[in-house]
Chains A and B, each alone.
Chain A
Amino acid sequence: EPEVTQTPSHQVTQMGQEVILRCVPISNHLYFYWYRQILGQKVEFLVSFYNNEISEKSEIFDDQFSVERPDGSNFTLKIRSTKLEDSAMYFCASTPNWEIQYFGAGTRLSVL
C-alpha cells in the first residue's frame, strides 16, 4: 500500500542551525501539508502546498520556515535558524483531493 515517507526519523541540531526535513508524498497526490506536534500538545497545521506554491500558512510558519518541491517526488520543510521551541514532531501529509489526508510517520526534531 502506498505511504508517505519521511526522513530522517530523528534530527538533532544545535540552536541557530538550519535543518531540512524531507518527505516523499504518495505519488498521485496533488496537495501536500506540513503539521507539527509539540510534546503534549495538539497536532497543528503549518502550511499547505499545491501546484508548486503555498496555498495557506499558519501564524507559526514565519520567515524562518520555507517549503519546496524540488523534483517530482520530494517535498521539503526548511527551518533556517532553529530555536529551542521548534523542537517537535513534524508530520508531512498528502491527499489526491480535499478529503482524506495521509500522514507520514514523522520526524522528531530536537533543538539543543
Chain B
Amino acid sequence: DQQVKQNSPSLSVQEGRISILNCDYTNSMFDYFLWYKKYPAEGPTFLISISSIKDKNEDGRFTVFLNKSAKHLSLHIVPSQPGDSAVYFCAASPTGANSKLTFGKGITLSVRP
C-alpha cells in the first residue's frame, strides 16, 4: 500500500545549492500535505505544509510546490546548509478533524560542506 511515494531514498547536494525532494501520491482524497524532517533518535519535526487549494507555499528557505493534476509535490531548500542533513518525510491526509497522516518512506538528504 504505497499511497505516498518517495522514490529516491537519498540525495546529496553541495552546501549553498538547491535541494529538491520529490513526493508522489495516489489517493485522490488527500488534500493536505506536509513535510517533516527527522534527525536520528528524534521524532519527526514539522517543516512546512500546503493545502490543495494552493500550488505553492513558502517559508524562508523552504518552498513546497503542489501539482494536483500530476499528484506530485516537491520541497525546495535554497540555499542548502549542512544542518539540513536529515531524513525528510512527505505526509498526506484528507481534510477534516482527526485525519490520520499517511507517510512516505523518507529521503535521506546529505548536504556536503
Contact = CB atoms under 8 A, between A and B. Distances in A.
Interface of A: 4, 6, 31, 33, 35, 41-45, 48, 50, 55-56, 58, 91, 97-106
The bracket for how many chain B residues form the interface is 20 to 34
A65 B19 CA distance: 40
Contact of A103 (B45, B102, B106): B45
Given A42-B104, A43-B103, A98 B98 contact: yes
Contacts of B105: 41-42
B46 A100 contact: yes
Given A43-B89, A99-B32, A91 B43 contact: yes
A91 B95 CA distance: 22
A43 B87 CA distance: 12
Contacts of B98: 31, 48, 50, 55-56, 98
B34 A56 contact: no
Given A105-B41, A106-B43, A97 B101 contact: no
| Interface core residue of A48, A58, A98, A102 (most chain B CB under 10 Å) | A98
A104 to B, nearest CB: 5
Interface of B: 32, 34, 36, 41-46, 49, 89, 91, 93, 95-106
Given A91-B44, A100-B49, A105-B42, 11 more contacts: A31-B98, A33-B100, A42-B106, A44-B103, A45-B100, A50-B98, A56-B100, A91-B43, A100-B34, A103-B45, A104-B43
Nearest to B32: A99
